[in-house]
Amino acid sequence: MDSIIGTVVTAKVTDENEDAYFVQVNGETLWVDKAEPEKPLHIGGLYEGFVYENEDHRLQLTRHVPAISFDHYVWGTVVRTRHDLGVFVDVGLPNKDLAVSLDELPTISRLWPKKDDRLYIKLARDNKQRLWGTLADQAEFAALAKPYAREAVKNADVQATVFRLKMAGTSVITDEGYLGFVHPSERNQEPRLGEHVKARVIGHLRDGELNLSLKPRGYEEIGDDAQMLLAMLQRQADHRLPYWDKSDPEDIRQAFGISKGQFKRAVGNLLKQRLITQQPGEIQLIEADHDETDD
């Protein structure tokens, strides 16, 4: 007999107690939360719903049929992690979160999804008739995605969800539904599976995917001291300040409230980002659009 777990069935009401109704189908007795039906059920009546094993390991029937099925993927939200088992995902079932096995997760545990990350999964059933979530592969995302992101212009910001981690790079799908790829050289650290990331369009790949970077623009990457110098330069009419990396330490402290070492690091950062020039006795703002420095 085929298992009814993970399917929608119509069952006959056979009994009840203070907390639950009991229904039967194909010789199986299922538990129905008494708070769920809109009207009282009667012995001999019929009740339709989705069958699953709840967290108390009882077979339960719910009329709140989830969108997920054995042939339909949904986005589920990660609610917790168990390092000996995998991650648990909310797919809309009462008192049941669906496990995604560690066998499908990255070998490095720090790349596992965390709470509130999202995974695109469908139902799977093992030989012990337990329900699991199984991850969508590249082909499923290709079918899900929009064909080509023509309107995604270079240097535009996008939000995206990570769905595949490989040595060659990170695959994502944007909130607008476009596929994207992040080369390892375009990230400071590898993102988690299921993580929602902010990325920047740096081009289009030949297959139509967006070529993305997770690195900030140069002017976004500078530290607080450099930001302060940049703001002070922008406020000057001639965009100059009469200080440089050989200025007296006390003069620097009086002017900026930071040490000479901090000042030199901030100036070095701004020079590296090509936001300022330095000559004896002064630094000067380069008057150009910051975005152009990072093309």
Report the phi/psi class of residue 257: left, alpha or beta, with left for phi > 0 and alpha for psi in -120 to 50. left
| Nearest Cα to Cα of residue 167 among 148, 151, 153, 184 | 184
| The pLDDT of residue 294 is above 60 | no
- pLDDT interval class at 223 (50, 70, 90): confident
Number of H helices, E strands in the chain: 5, 18
Same CATH topology for 8-62 and 219-294: the answer is no
CATH match of 147-213 with 2.40.30.10: no
- Rounded Cα–Cα distance for residues 70 and 244 (Å): 66
Q: How large is the average pLDDT for residues 20-48? A: 94
Fold held by 219-294: Arc Repressor Mutant, subunit A (1.10.10)
CA dihedral 21, 125, 103, 122 (to 10 degrees): -80
pTM: 0.74
The CATH fold of domain 74-136: OB fold (Dihydrolipoamide Acetyltransferase, E2P) (2.40.50)
The whole-chain average pLDDT of the chain stands at 90
- Output the pLDDT for position 292: 36
Provide the 10 A C-beta neighbour count for residue 40: 9
Q: Where does the pLDDT of residue 287 fall: very low under 50, low under 70, confident under 90, or very high at 90 and above?
A: low
Cα–Cα distances (Å) from 21 to 56, 122, 129, 201, 255, in that order, read: 16, 29, 23, 55, 77
What pLDDT was estimated at residue 291?
Answer: 38
Instruction: Name the residue ranges covered by the structural domains of the chain.
Output: 8-62, 74-136, 147-213, 219-294
The CATH topology of domain 8-62 is OB fold (Dihydrolipoamide Acetyltransferase, E2P) (2.40.50)
Cβ(68)–Cβ(76) below 8 Å: yes
Confidence class of residue 151 from pLDDT cuts 50, 70 and 90?
low
Confidence of residue 29 (pLDDT cuts 50, 70, 90): very high
Would you say residue 163 has pLDDT above 70? yes
Q: What are phi and psi of 285, to 5 degrees?
A: -70, 135
